[in-house]
Chains A and B, each alone.
Chain A
Amino acid sequence: MVEQIIKKSQFEERGTLFETGAPVTCSVSIDKVIAVGFGDGSLRLYKPDAEPVVVHAHNGVILSIAANESHIITGGQDGLFLKISLNGEIEEIYNFGTQWVDNVAAYEDMFLCSSGKNVYIWSGDNNKPKLLEHQSTIGGIAIDQNGRRIAVSCYGGVTLWRYEKNKWKSSKFAWKGSHSKVGFSPDGKYIVTTMQENELHAWRIRDKASFAMSGYPSKVKSFTWAGDNPYLVTAGAREAICWPFDGKEGPRGRTPLCIASGGQENATYVETLPGEKAIFAGFKNGMVLLSELSENPNDVLIQSPTGSEISNISISPDRSHILVGDIKGKVLWSPLWEQ
């Protein structure tokens, strides 16, 4: 075999590489910490100028993670829905037994999770969760920017729940097919889902006008929002495909920006650089690029190809550090700026 000499990026040179041995499954940024969930049930808390703290949270894969201002919440294949402090103290919110806790979300003192076809909401001091039922297994959940609406995706579309007069009221946004991840646009006007097919679907909430964003060579596993327009930045293709959501009609009839074009394989994870018109794209071969939201973007190499699919990219809340994780358990933790 010919030994390939792969040049390290400046981020790999000044950062630290951790071999954790378990797939990186999810992450959330909170305070100065990036909390990362792993396939062996452990949670690691990465902070600048400190060794990562390992928390033995679940007995099985951590499937989903979220946070409010003070706590991390996690859902796992062990059926546990946990609340974890930044010191690593674990409190069990609920035990679903043999049922996986597939999705979690948090907003102030409201904690949500989905298990099977149901969404459970804990809020305030009430120990008994509110139950929202759905017709099929839930693919994803999202809370809007004000904590008043919850979007739940499953087979056949999205159910939008609004909190009005002390009740959760539902409204259906239908589109045939299986919907997984779901999110609100930053202005709260659109709902977007990833689908089992190689495409995304979006609805304008006001009139339920819906449209597909298709043409991807593989499944879209990740999306994020970036820039002021804003752009919906998506994985699933050789480049990061960015759909403009400004104007009345959003991306309909318009061509997307294609940036981060240095990858030889499809992008599997995308993340925005908060406050900048720039995004990170991670690829199936382990490469990570930083790219500008422009017609002729400059790309910066964050991580050279490693051979393992990127499963997570996270930026610390103060933008000082980047964390890159892959499906083999490698974690790159690096200062984002020269010191």
Chain B
Amino acid sequence: MENNSTQVPVTVLTGFLGAGKTTLLNRILTEQHGRKYAVIVNEFGEQGIDNDLVVDADEEVFEMNNGCICCTVRGDLIRILGGLMKRADQLDAIIVETTGLADPAPVAQTFFVDQDVADRTKLDAIVTVADAVHLSSQLGEHHEAEEQIAFADVVLLNKIDLVDQNQIKGVHDRIRKINPYTKIIETNRCEAPLDEVLGLNAFSLDRVLEVEPDFLDSDHDHEHDDDVTSISFVSDTPLIMEKFESWFGNLLQTHGQNILRSKGIMDFKGENDRYVFQGVHMLMDASPMGPWPSKAKRNSRVVFIGRNLDSMNLKEGFESCKSE
């Protein structure tokens, strides 16, 4: 995904039914912000939006014939984004609403796989609206709820005035356990400033560089096998590029279905540049991002969010890439 100013940013909006997605969409469409946003909604989704910049979609997920077993994309999105790019006026952003029970991965993967989509648009961020009252029980009952938190760059924790401080802390802890890197914004009626939700550039490789290291000492408890968790590693010893490519490539091939998101900044032996990657399941975007800043500490950091992470020997694999 190249950095190109003519690419229209696309925000993916997920969240369970009733969490408040429609409230947020209505704000985006009606507030006087001087910008032109198109919204792609699901025809089976929540009702109540009427605007000529609203397009009905039908969440058609299909497998690519590219040999990648978990590579599913949204066919309707390819068609609709292509159609919107034919407009005479330039859109400032596009928002894709998914149904409550949708897996966000095919939407994200569409931006990695389809060249036309990648040429003209770019994935900006995945924003998940969560209901502070019901999120905990939804996480226990539905895989999709966990995935929506796991993929989120931003969680809008909505209906916050309906829960007490203890409950808020409990919900925060649940979210952090799945995804320590997501930004949590507490709101009522989705009243967050729109610039905290749109135009985040969360999928640019630059943003990976901002991954905060403080989560890294967190203990990784053994979780129920099916739970979504995260794990991260740091190495002050430079890594060997060939070893890392071989281990990481093999890892995504064999466990890509269970690795929902991955990010990393790598310090390779003999290389002056920082190498940065970010992935969704088996698909990955990677690039050298210029030399290390003179004052920055050179080290390698990787982060995985997924299921059954304990079964992947991640620590051993990462350690084996070290140059000493």
Mark A residues whose CB is within 8 Å of B: 21-23, 25, 38-40, 59-61, 63, 77-78, 98-100, 102, 116-117, 136-137, 139, 155, 176-178, 180, 196-197, 218-219, 327, 329
Whether B116 is near chain A, meaning CB under 8 Å from some CB there, is yes
Which residue in A60, A98, A177 is a CB contact (below 8 Å) of B62? A177
- Could you write out 25 A-B pairs with CB less than 8 Å apart? A23-B88, A25-B86, A40-B87, A40-B88, A59-B52, A60-B87, A61-B83, A78-B52, A98-B54, A98-B56, A99-B56, A116-B58, A136-B60, A136-B75, A137-B76, A155-B60, A155-B62, A176-B65, A177-B62, A177-B64, A177-B65, A178-B62, A178-B78, A196-B62, A196-B78
Which residue in B55, B66, B75, B89 is a CB contact (below 8 Å) of A137? B75
CB distance from A235 to the nearest CB of B (A): 13
Q: Contact: A218 with B86, CB < 8 Å?
A: no
Whether B115 is near chain A, meaning CB under 8 Å from some CB there, is yes
The interface bits of chain B over 64-100 (1 if a CB of A lies within 8 angstroms of the residue's CB, else 0) are: 1110000001011011100100111100000000000
Which residue in B65, B75, B83, B116 is a CB contact (below 8 Å) of A197? B65
A152 CA / B86 CA spacing, docked (Å): 23
CB distance from A299 to the nearest CB of B (A): 26
Which residue in A39, A78, A99, A177 is a CB contact (below 8 Å) of B86? A39
Chain B residues whose C-beta falls within 8 Å of the C-beta of A155 in the assembled complex: 60, 62, 75
Chain B contact-residue range equals 20 to 34
- Interface majority SS (helix, strand, loop, mixed), chain A: loop
Q: Contact: A21 with B88, CB < 8 Å?
A: yes
Q: Contact: A77 with B78, CB < 8 Å?
A: no
Q: Contact: B115 with A23, CB < 8 Å?
A: no
A77 CA / B88 CA spacing, docked (Å): 12
Q: Contact: B60 with A196, CB < 8 Å?
A: no
Whether B114 is near chain A, meaning CB under 8 Å from some CB there, is yes
Chain B residues whose C-beta falls within 8 Å of the C-beta of A98 in the assembled complex: 54-56
CB distance from A104 to the nearest CB of B (A): 14
A211 CA / B58 CA spacing, docked (Å): 29
CB distance from A261 to the nearest CB of B (A): 22
Which residue in B52, B56, B78, B83 is a CB contact (below 8 Å) of A63? B83
Instruction: Using known A-B contacts A38-B88, A116-B58, A219-B116, determine if residue A196 contacts B75 with beta carbons closer than 8 Å.
Output: yes
CB distance from A317 to the nearest CB of B (A): 26
